[in-house]
Amino acid sequence: MAEENYNGTELLICLAARIMEDRSSAFIGTGVPMLAAALAKRLYAPNLVPVFEFGGVGSSLKYLPRGVGESKTFYQAQVASGICDIMETAARGFITYGFLGGAQIDMYGNLNSTVIGPQPHPKVRMPGSGGANDVGSFCWHTIAIMQHDVRRFVPKIDFVTTPGYLTGPGAREEAGLFPGAGPYRVVTNLAVMGYEETSKRMMLLSTNPGVTADQVVAATGFELVLPAAVGRNDPPTDEELRILREEIDPEHLYI
């Protein structure tokens, strides 16, 4: 096992890569999700089908794209389509995982990437949804990747850009979204969270190396569900780091 010779981004990539299952599909965004999908295809899920917003489906990810619309997202792909087809594919329920990010997240996995502060004059205006609302609405399992602190993990987000479980059990279905779909994991610099089946509230699953459950609780602005036993996430292995550094991102675009 590698000993403290990795950075925080590399840890996030490895944690996200280990989540994805073989013979599944994943809606991939720029940055960490791209590297996580590439690592998963090499080590854990060789038949993973990456899906990119601008039309690339099934790329081998042999070469790391710089963005979701770059030509490398189509390299050795099964389909070269367009954004409308991709969103329709998600709406039909054909995409297993969707990666998301945001400035704020609440206990039900609702995400805000639009504004901080009250309308109509918020403190900060951010890029907004892009395809994030579609990803959160239609992918079966969403994985949020975020930095973990009380400013981001809040009791009430300022704007619902992307729906999680909305107000709790049954709310997604009442809004017309797929039964059984919704937030699945939250991967942060401190821990990995999931969601309690009954209440749909965020639950601590496992802590990162050197992090305690108390530290995760202190960095969260709402009450986390705590299971009887909290797991521990393994640090990146030597093989994971070698593949990341030498094969996936040798130019250090992201790591």
| Interval 82-100: pLDDT, tens | 999 999 999 999 999 999 9
The three-point CA angle 144-149-153 to 5° equals: 55
Average pLDDT rounded to a whole number, residues 181-200: 98
pLDDT at 2: 43
DSSP 89-123: HHHTT---EEEE--SEE-TT--EE-SEESSSSS-S
Structural domain contains residue 102: yes
Overall domain count for the chain: 1
Q: What's this model's pTM, rounded to 2 decimal places?
A: 0.94
Does 3 qualify as catalytic in the annotation?
A: no
Structural domain contains residue 2: no
Confidence label for 122 from pLDDT (cuts 50, 70 and 90): very high
pLDDT at 48: 97
Structural domain contains residue 241: yes
CATH number, domain with residue 207: 3.40.1080.10
Structural domain contains residue 178: yes
Structural domain contains residue 3: no
Q: Which is catalytic among the residues 4, 53, 197, 240?
A: 53
Structural domain contains residue 255: no
pLDDT at 119: 84
If you average pLDDT over every residue of the chain, what do you get? 95
Domain of 197?
8-248
Structural domain contains residue 14: yes
| Interval 211-245: pLDDT, tens | 999 999 999 999 999 999 999 999 999 999 999 99
Ranges of H-type helices in 185-252: 213-218, 238-242
